[in-house]
Amino acid sequence: MRQIISKRLKELRFEKGFTQMQVAIYCNITEKAYQNYELMRREPKLEMLVKIADFYGVSLDYIVGRSDNR
């Protein structure tokens, strides 16, 4: 699952034109923490996944790979 989350986070960020720093600021985490999610070093907790999904305007199911519908 970590690989899917990583892939989707990168895709969404590039599509929306955000930097890792911008996403990290919205989520109230460090840029390094967000980088770790994209680099598959850490898996975000549910609370963080909810914030990220809200930021990108997609469902949790999409981010974790349970659905291809955003």
**Which CATH entry fits the domain spanning 2-64: 1.10.260.40, 1.10.10.10, 1.10.357.10, 2.60.40.10?**
1.10.260.40
What pLDDT shows up at residue 19?
97
pLDDT in tens, 43-61: 999 999 999 999 999 999 9
Give yes or no for a contact between 43 and 1, defined as CB atoms under 8 angstroms apart: yes
Residue with the two structure tokens 């305007």 = 57
Residue 1 pLDDT grade (very low, low, confident, very high; cuts 50, 70, 90):
confident
Residue 2 pLDDT grade (very low, low, confident, very high; cuts 50, 70, 90):
confident
DSSP-assigned states of every residue in 7-67: HHHHHHHHHHT--HHHHHHHHTS-HHHHHHHHTTSS---HHHHHHHHHHHT--HHHHHTS-
Q: Cβ–Cβ contacts within 10 Å for residue 56, how many?
A: 21
Q: What's the whole-model pTM score?
A: 0.90
Segments making up each domain of the chain, as ranges = 2-64
pLDDT in tens, 5-29: 999 999 999 999 999 999 999 999 9
